[in-house]
Amino acid sequence: MQRCFLLTALMLCSAASGAHADDLSICYNYGCARSAGVHLHGAQLSHIHMLLAWVDNAEEERQAIAQAIGLFQTAAGQQTPTFRDRGRNIPDEGADGRMDCIDHAHNTSAYLRLMEERGWLNFHRVLEPVKRAPWIFNEHWSARIAEKDSGEEFVVDSWFFDNGHPAAIFTLEEWMKGAEPNE
């Protein structure tokens, strides 16, 4: 009962404390060849804010960030052809709305910056995207965050999954060595 009351109170506060609508520019069709505006309405942002409002530590915040990225992608896919994006690159088969790692790094960074600007990230700060190139022909980009207390860096990589799936989060060190999700 108490948790229900707290959830209701948080929803009301969210509406009053920055869960208002927002517009973002995202990109798609590999290498940010196309761009589109996405309008995020208050209810979508309130849902994301609630995910982040309940975290007690940096690890929980990273889990919430992963979920939030999937929600942002779902919202973007309702307004753009990015709903067609499939994990990695091969399954896209040239579909309008496909995204490579450059598109994902750009868009995920934009979502992270929105969360940071609204004060929803208590344990992390947003950094510029990062690239790895374990082989000359295998360059890969991802969004990046750092824990505020420890300074440890993490990547927030949504490229591995279909549109709307939570992002994978790795330590920067693991990711630079070629880490991929087990799913």
Residue 86 domain-assigned (yes or no): yes
**Domain annotation covers residue 8:** no
**Which has the minimum average pLDDT: 9-18, 37-46, 69-78, 137-146?**
9-18
Domain assignment present for 15: no
The amino acid that residue 30 corresponds to is: Y
- Whether residue 121 lies inside any domain: the answer is yes
Q: 3-class SS at 49?
A: helix
Report yes or no on 98 lying in a domain.
yes
Distance between CA atoms of residues 133 and 121, nearest Å:
29
Domain holding 44, by residue range, is: 21-176
Is there a domain that residue 181 lies in? Answer: no
Nearest to 154 by CA among 53, 56, 59: 59
Residue recorded with tokens 């505006």: 37
- CA-angle at 98, arms to 111 and 34, nearest 5°: 70
Tens digits of residue pLDDT in 125-167: 999 999 998 666 678 999 999 999 999 999 999 999 999 999 9
pLDDT of residue 12: 43
pLDDT at 183: 60
When divided into structural domains, the chain yields a total of 1
Residue 6 lies in a domain: no
Here the tokens at position 2 are 């108490």
